[in-house]
Amino acid sequence: MNGKTPHIVQYQGSKRILAPQIMKYMPKRFNRLIEPFSGMAAISIAVAQTKKTGLYYINDLNAPLVNMLKAAVEYPDLLIEKYSALWNKQFDYGLDHVRHFYDVRQQFNDGNESPEIILYLLARCVKGAVRYSKEGKFNQSPDKRRHGTNPQNIKTNLCAVSKLLKGKSKFSALDYREIFAMSRPGDLLYLDPPYQGVSNKKDNRYFSGVSFVEFVSALESLNRKNVDFLISYDGQCGSKEYGEDLPEGLGCRKILLNAGISSQATLLGREATTYEALYISRNLLSSHEHVIPQELMEAAV
Ligand SMILES: C[S@@+](CC[C@H](N)C(=O)[O-])C[C@H]1O[C@@H](n2cnc3c(N)ncnc32)[C@H](O)[C@@H]1O
């Protein structure tokens, strides 16, 4: 884990902690890093601390999230100022500061998708988990024990992230298949689709389940174009496996990354290590085999 890598705000499913392990499987250099399922863009931020590439394409179907990332990178001072004003307002509510979260959530659900609003909701909600109802309304609850990330921490992180990505990054809020279609040989795609367990939920305007069959067929299209990719795709905790393996026909190598002790299992009185699967694409293996050390490849399952 690289304690010095900045991050904007907590986000469920963030690969911040795993980023150093994932980057070991990337080529030394590539033209552009593309994250079609960027979430909080943890991998772009981590890669930007290296010299692997100088161009980043950050995409996520969740438009308010991407707009917030864009504001964080391009206008960090303005976002920090607006976030601080919003965050400080909770103290006008006295002991009832939780009601401030519900008021801001209501503003978001009434159509105010300003970057500071989504940033505050994420900074304040339980586990940084974006949850939407079937109608597309943000319905995650506040973490009642905390006030949400304080503006000083946000400032430190936003300034650091902006320094790494400003002037080098493009942003969009499209379906991942449109991003696949615009990718070219020489790009590296890092793919982190939603966990298969959440893929069957009804789609709404911020979130679409990613069907296994469609995802596999989209990966075949990348193989045909000789575009390099890495995929984080579920994994296992103890002996319990999550999600279906990707088909062998894709020619990927599956590696298990150690994601640490499962807090869920610990709560249940068991100790189990969680592993997250990382698939290395066929083209990446054949064209860059020499850059992936043999001892790393031995972790393949
Ligand atoms: C597991 S999260 C990615 C986390 C990210 N790697 C990080 O470190 O923060 C998956 C992301 O996929 C996005 N998503 C879901 N369906 C999508 C689609 N059809 N196209 C693009 N993005 C999608 C979700 O909004 C979510 O942010």
Domains in the chain, start-ordered, CATH in brackets?
19-63+167-297 (3.40.50.150), 72-155 (1.10.1020.10)
- In 217-272, the DSSP E strands lie at 228-237, 240-242, 253-261
d(CA 193, CA 30): 22
| 279 CA from centroid of ligand 1 (Å) | 17
DSSP codes joined into one string, 26-83: S-S--SEEEETT-TTTHHHHHHTTTTS-S-EEEE-S-HHHHHHHHHHHH-HHHHHHHH
pLDDT of residue 199: 43
Atom of ligand 1 nearest to the CA of 177: 20
Atom of ligand 1 nearest to the CA of 35: 6
| 14 CA from centroid of ligand 1 (Å) | 10
* Residue type for position 173: A
15 in contact with ligand 1, CB cutoff 6 A = yes
| Low-confidence spans in the chain with pLDDT less than 50 | 1-2, 199-200
| Of 5, 7, 38, best ligand 1 pocket probe by most atoms within 8 Å of the beta carbon | 38
| Of 60, 140, 174, 217, best ligand 1 pocket probe by most atoms within 8 Å of the beta carbon | 60
DSSP state of 227: -
180 in contact with ligand 1, CB cutoff 6 A = no
**How many alpha carbons fall within 13 Å on the CB side of residue 301?**
13
CA-based angle 267:270:275, to the nearest 5? 95
pLDDT of residue 200: 43
Q: Whose CA is nearest to atom 13 of ligand 1?
A: 37
Q: Which two tokens stand for residue 185?
A: 């040989």
Q: Whose CA is nearest to atom 18 of ligand 1?
A: 175
d(CA 116, CA 122): 10
Region for residue 182 given its phi and psi (left: phi exceeds 0; alpha: psi -120 to 50; beta: otherwise)? alpha
* Residue type for position 180: F
| 40 CA from centroid of ligand 1 (Å) | 9
Q: Which two tokens stand for residue 210?
A: 């990613």
pLDDT of residue 144: 87
Strand pairing class (187-191; 32-35): parallel
- In the chain, the DSSP E strands lie at 32-35, 56-59, 169-172, 187-191, 228-237, 240-242, 253-261, 273-280
